[in-house]
């Protein structure tokens, strides 16, 4: 079959809603796009552990400590799941980690902001994991089998992450004046970075056309962002809290909450490494990699010995 014939058959499979599996023929650009997206998603899960990890030792009680520990541990598992999904496409773990540590690969810009109070743990859970759920339940319908199946498992755990966060924001919003002020401050700081998580506007999103064509993405950046605003905005206001968007209003004709302009200069500044915590986050990730060298060496030595024993 000619290359064009293979492509036509591949696209017919996509149109039929079939899942593409690792051993199937796929266009190189499909493979490249998936390695890009899945590896950066995995990086985001691991880097996402850092803003919350700093609060585990400062949790206000044992229950909150246990819940936060479970959430951060989940994120580590999500990262491993996703690195494995990317490896089914031929990417190696070493290449992906090197791309992150060298700064070549991206991770979600939202994790380059500081978590300044315990209320941030609630707002991150509600807003950041809430945004991730919208994105990841969409990706559960992705045409690439391993990514789609990983998303089904991960989305179930994200639901717990969002609920534990939302519960904390509700409690703090009904607490003392100091607690209300603390949670309102966290809402003000995390709202716009959470909105930016969905990526640039559709017309500024160079990857979206091919991702939509091959059903890797089945919703656009702006469609998911609109779902996010429609879901979160009324619930935040219901709690007597405000959102840092003076232009936010409901459009009667569609029922959509229309948000104000997003500061894309800030977005690209943070994506390009000049955010409040980029250097701190990357230093922590590089240190963790260096500290783990002995584990990797021990595993390699064990594998060599096992291979030697098997060969003997």
- Considering the complex, state which of residue 111 and residue 257 has its C-beta at the smaller distance from ligand 3HC: 111
Copy the structure tokens of residue 166: 């939302």
Residue 233 makes contact with ligand 3HC by CB under 6 A: no
Say how far apart CA 43 and CA 48 lie, in whole Å.
Answer: 8
Residue 308: CB minimum distance to ligand 3HC, A: 40
- Considering the complex, state which of residue 41 and residue 189 has its C-beta at the smaller distance from ligand 3HC: 41
Classify each residue of 242-272 as buried b or exposed e, where b means 16 or more C-beta atoms within 10 Å of its C-beta: ebebeebeeeeeeeebebeebeeeebeebbe
- Which one of 113-121, 177-185, 195-203, 255-263 is the stretch in contact with ligand 3HC (CB under 6 A)? 195-203
Interacting residues with ligand 3HC between 134 and 163 (CB under 6 A): 135, 158
3-state secondary structure of 261: coil
Interacting residues with ligand 3HC between 68 and 97 (CB under 6 A): 75, 78
Interacting residues with ligand 3HC between 212 and 231 (CB under 6 A): 221
Exactly one of 271, 275, 282, 285 binds ligand 3HC (CB under 6 A); that residue is 271
Q: How many CB atoms neighbour CB 40 within 10 A?
A: 19
Copy the structure tokens of residue 249: 């209003």
Say how far apart CA 118 and CA 111 lie, in whole Å.
Answer: 16
Say how far apart CA 132 and CA 156 lie, in whole Å.
Answer: 11
Interacting residues with ligand 3HC between 165 and 194 (CB under 6 A): none
Copy the structure tokens of residue 160: 């717990």
Closest CA to 165 of 198, 133, 197, 199: 133
Residue 208 makes contact with ligand 3HC by CB under 6 A: yes
Residue 129: CB minimum distance to ligand 3HC, A: 5
Exactly one of 106, 141, 149, 289 binds ligand 3HC (CB under 6 A); that residue is 106
List interacting residues with ligand 3HC (CB under 6 A). Answer: 36-37, 40-41, 44-45, 48, 75, 78, 106, 108-109, 128-129, 132, 135, 158, 196-200, 205-208, 211, 221, 271
């Amino acid at each position: 079959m000619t290359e064009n014939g293979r492509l036509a058959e591949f696209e017919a499979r996509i149109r039929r809603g079939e899942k593409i599996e690792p051993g199937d023929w796929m266009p190189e650009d499909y493979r490249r796009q998936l390695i890009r997206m899945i590896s950066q998603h995995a990086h985001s899960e691991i880097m996402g552990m850092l803003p919350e990890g700093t609060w585990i030792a400062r949790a206000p009680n044992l229950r909150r400590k246990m819940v936060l520990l479970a959430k951060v541990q989940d994120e580590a598992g999500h990262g491993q799941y996703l690195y494995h999904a990317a490896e089914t496409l031929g990417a190696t773990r070493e290449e992906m980690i090197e791309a992150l540590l060298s700064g070549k690969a991206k991770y979600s810009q939202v994790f380059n902001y500081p978590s300044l109070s315990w209320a941030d743990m609630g707002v991150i859970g509600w807003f950041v994991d809430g945004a991730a759920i919208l994105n990841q339940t969409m990706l559960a319908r992705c045409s690439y089998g391993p990514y789609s199946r990983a998303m089904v498992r991960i989305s179930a755990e994200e639901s717990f992450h969002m609920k534990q966060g939302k519960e904390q924001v509700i409690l703090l919003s009904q607490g003392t004046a100091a607690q209300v002020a603390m949670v309102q401050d966290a809402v003000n700081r995390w709202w716009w970075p959470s909105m930016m998580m969905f990526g640039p506007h559709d017309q500024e999103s160079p990857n979206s056309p091919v991702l939509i064509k091959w059903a890797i993405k089945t919703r656009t950046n702006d469609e998911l962002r609109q779902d996010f605003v429609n879901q979160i905005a009324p619930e935040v206001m219901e709690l007597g809290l405000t959102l840092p968007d003076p232009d936010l209003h409901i459009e009667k004709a569609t029922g959509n909450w229309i948000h104000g302009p997003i500061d894309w200069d800030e977005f690209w500044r943070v994506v390009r490494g000049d955010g409040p915590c980029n250097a701190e986050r990357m230093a922590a990730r590089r240190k963790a990699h260096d500290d783990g060298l002995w584990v990797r060496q021990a595993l390699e030595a064990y594998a060599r010995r096992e291979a030697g024993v098997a060969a003997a």
